[in-house]
Amino acid sequence: MESISGVKCYNSSYKYSPLLARLIEVCYRTPVIKLKEIAELLGISVPYAHELIKRLKRDTCFKIWALPHHDRIRLRLLRCFLQVSSTTYHRILLETLSQHDFVAYIAQCFGGLGKGIWCDFLVPEGKDRELFSFLELLRSHKIIGTYVLYATASLKNVVMGFEWYDFSTHTWRFDWQALLNDVLSKIDSQEPSYFYDLEPSIPRIKFDSYDLFILHHLEQDVFTPLTFLASKLGTSPQNLSYHFRDHVLRGELIRTTRPYWYPYLFKESSSYILNVEFEDIKGLNGFLESLHRKPIAHTCTHYGQVVHPLISLAGFLPYGEFFNFANLLDLLKDYGIIKNYCFYILDLHNSYVKCLPCYCYDEAVGWRFDLESYSEKILKIAKKVQEGRAKSIARLASAADSKIESV
């Protein structure tokens, strides 16, 4: 068996105790809505659970957020890599698209097609054509080179846990060889656990502006008090409590909850999206089972029906571990488990996150979705840039001609 380079250690972002580690893992494993749920799962009092969460928030910018079930509120998550070679167009697209209500996430990144931008678009039902037209317009004007679009089918948490954490030294120990062995053993087992499975079709669910307002704020912090939200909306806490209980919870408008958490020193790590195509579902499940409780990935997204199982992983890694992760994936290709893969390394310092655009919903007409005005704005800025470049080139050419004539 081929081996991967030896175990390396990295400083932790905080000195975690076993109890804090269990708390963080619980937040990945269980859809947490109330502090009482955390306290019961950990076997501690509610005030103590509140104190632990407060400590993590203060010391590590920790929070727990709720991801809306977009399909149930007539939205579709489409993830896109835009190839952009020009630094100027990078800046234009980042500044412009980051203001769009339906761009849930945007970041500068590097991928298999080179330098570019990663976008998560929330597209209302029946509006896919508008997004395609927008992307084609950018390409026809040479603002982007090409693009790759991924339609998400389901999303699940991966427990980004503490199996590789050394509590005595407060360091993370990356043992990729052990992970490789674990993947191979789980695939060869007679009874795979099938950690990954597809979600059933989405029924038509009743929702309204109150529900969307609740989701918008729970996406910022799942423990946001309903009394606070009621005062912001000018309605009674009883009314908002009814919507939360009978619509948001019973209608399953929350897909999952998970922590916002950086396990390593921010300055020494980076965020990534990894698309992996597997030869079969057995290999996919063995791989995901082995990632459980490792500090590698926090989310797994399935990309619809294709010939081979295709998923996307999202997570954080220290800079030096991307090569070891790639080596692991290459070995899994040699074993016939992975068919292909590609990384997108995201620049956290040039990224923007936005919550559900609840103010863009009208109960009479549905979601108000507009890309045309942004197309015009981007093209107008790009035209000025191109005209400025042309003038600069003309000035340089004129200066060169004058110099030649004077010789």
Strand pairing partners for 276?
A: 311, 341
In a domain, 392, yes or no: no
* Per-residue confidence (pLDDT) for residue 400, from 0 to 100: 45
Say whether both 177 and 239 belong to one domain: no
Say whether both 362 and 259 belong to one domain: yes
* Per-residue confidence (pLDDT) for residue 397, from 0 to 100: 41
In a domain, 327, yes or no: yes
Say whether both 260 and 298 belong to one domain: yes
Say whether both 111 and 223 belong to one domain: no
Q: Name the residue among 210, 216, 292 with its Cα closest to residue 28.
A: 292
In a domain, 293, yes or no: yes
* Per-residue confidence (pLDDT) for residue 204, from 0 to 100: 67
AA letter at 296: I
* Per-residue confidence (pLDDT) for residue 393, from 0 to 100: 41
Domain boundary (251, 280, 311) is at 251
Residues 6 or more apart in contact with residue 95 via CB below 8 angstroms? none
Whichever domain contains 197, its CATH number is: 3.30.70.3460
Give the C-alpha distances (Å, rounded to integers) separating 275 from 154, 346, 350.
Answer: 14, 14, 21
Say whether both 239 and 297 belong to one domain: no
Say whether both 131 and 280 belong to one domain: yes
Write out the chain's pLDDT in tens, 407 residues.
455 667 889 999 999 999 999 999 999 998 988 999 999 999 999 999 999 999 999 998 899 999 999 999 999 999 999 999 888 888 888 989 999 999 999 999 998 778 999 999 999 999 999 999 999 999 998 899 999 998 888 889 999 999 999 999 999 999 999 999 999 998 877 565 555 555 666 666 789 999 999 999 999 999 999 999 999 999 999 999 999 999 999 999 999 999 999 999 888 888 999 999 999 888 999 999 999 999 999 999 988 666 788 999 999 999 889 999 999 999 999 999 999 999 999 998 889 999 999 999 998 899 999 888 888 888 888 777 666 554 444 454 444 445 445 55
Q: Within 83-142, where are the H helices?
A: 87-97, 128-140
How many whole angstroms separate alpha carbon 18 and alpha carbon 344? 32
Give the C-alpha distances (Å, rounded to integers) separating 349 from 27, 78, 114, 271.
Answer: 26, 23, 18, 10
Whichever domain contains 243, its CATH number is: 1.10.10
In a domain, 384, yes or no: no
How many whole angstroms separate alpha carbon 63 and alpha carbon 60? 9
Residue 283's domain comprises: 67-205+252-374
In a domain, 391, yes or no: no
- What is the tally of structural domains in the chain? 3
Say whether both 173 and 219 belong to one domain: no
Q: Name the residue among 163, 180, 150 with its Cα closest to residue 5.
A: 180
Angle between helix axes 35-42 and 18-29 (nearest 10 degrees) is 120
Say whether both 138 and 247 belong to one domain: no
Residue 112 φ then ψ, to 5°: -65, -25
Say whether both 259 and 321 belong to one domain: yes
Strand, coil or helix: 299: strand
Q: Tell me the residue length of the chain.
A: 407
Say whether both 94 and 159 belong to one domain: yes
Say whether both 186 and 301 belong to one domain: yes
The answer to whether the Cα torsion of 120, 126, 132, 134 is positive or negative is negative
- Residue 3's Cα: distance from chain center in Å? 31
Q: What is the value of pTM for the model shown? A: 0.88
Give the C-alpha distances (Å, rounded to integers) separating 220 from 60, 100, 151, 159, 223.
Answer: 16, 18, 24, 20, 9
DSSP label of 403:
H
Q: Where are the beta strands (DSSP E) in 152-251?
A: 154-157, 165-166, 171-174
In a domain, 349, yes or no: yes
Domain boundary (5, 39, 60) is at 60
Q: Within 9-127, where are the H helices?
A: 18-29, 35-42, 46-60, 87-97
In a domain, 400, yes or no: no
In a domain, 12, yes or no: no
Say whether both 352 and 340 belong to one domain: yes
How many whole angstroms separate alpha carbon 176 and alpha carbon 331? 11
Strand, coil or helix: 254: strand
AA letter at 286: G
Domain boundary (251, 283, 305) is at 251
Two structure tokens written together for 283? 């290999």
